[in-house]
A and B are shown apart, each in its own frame.
Chain A
C-alpha cells in the first residue's frame, strides 16, 4: 500500500492566488514526521516545511503552511499568494518513527505546479 499519496499529478494556478497541494499518508506509527519539498527543473530538492506528529499547531514558513489533519491522515501544503517562481514539482514525504537504524524518508509521486501569469 502507498504510504504517501499525492492525487494531483498537475495543477495550474493563476499568479497571486493561493494553492493547496494535497497529501495523505498511511502509518500505524505514533511518531512520524511529514515534509514538503520543492523540486525546480534543475532537480535540486529544496526543503519547505516540516510537521511532527506530536505538534499541536500547523507548521508555517513564510508563504508556506501545512494543513495537518491528523485524524484524516492529511498534510496538505498551502502556498499563499503564488508567484511565478513557485512553478515546480512538489513532493510530500514521511519519516516514520525514530528508530536510528531505520530512519528514512518515503516520498509521494509529486504534483507539478504551474503558475500562470
Chain B
C-alpha cells in the first residue's frame, strides 16, 4: 500500500538554528512531492514542489530550501530559522497523471523560540 511518512511530529527550535524535516513515500515511484506550510489559523501555502530527483520548484521566496536526493524522499531545510518560520508543515505526494489523489503526511508542528 502507498503511505507517506513525515517526521518529527513536533519540533521546538531556537532562532538561528538549522532545520531539517524529512518526508518519505512508500509503495509508489516517481511521485510529485510537495511541501506546504500552514500558519496558525490560516490556509496552506505551497512552498516547494518536485517532479523528480534533484528537481525543485520554489513557490515563495523565503528562508527555506528543499531537496529531493532520492525518488521518494523530500527534505525541507533551513540554515538559520526565523521566528516567522513557525507553523505546521505538511508534505504531500501525488501520482502523475491521476486526476486527484493528493495524499498528505501527518505534519510537523514547528515552533521557533
Determine if B106 and A50 form an interchain contact, defined as CB atoms under 8 angstroms apart.
no
Is B43 touching A108 in the complex (CB atoms < 8 A)?
A: yes
A33 and B34 contacting across the interface, CB-CB below 8 Å: no
A105 within 8 A of B: yes
Interface set of A (CB-CB < 8 Å, partner B): 6, 33, 35, 42-45, 47, 50, 52, 91, 93, 95, 100-110
When chains A and B are docked, how far (Å) is the Cα of A117 from the Cα of B57?
Answer: 46
Q: In the bound complex, how far is the Cα of B94 from the Cα of A98, in angstroms?
A: 13
Please pick, from A50, A101, A107, the residue contacting B100 in the complex, using a CB distance under 8 A. Answer: A50
Interface class of chain A by DSSP: loop
Q: Chain B at the A interface: mostly helix, strand, loop or mixed? A: strand
**Given contacts A104-B46, A109-B42, A110-B43, could you give 5 more A-B pairs where the C-beta distance is less than 8 Å?**
A43-B106, A45-B92, A47-B102, A104-B32, A107-B36
User: Which A residues are in CB contact (< 8 Å) with B44?
Assistant: 45, 91, 93, 105, 107
Q: Which residues of A contact B102 (CB under 8 A)?
A: 35, 47, 105
Please, which residues of chain A bring their CB within 8 A of the CB of B96?
100, 103
In the complex, what distance in Å separates the CA atom of A33 from the CA atom of B98? Answer: 11
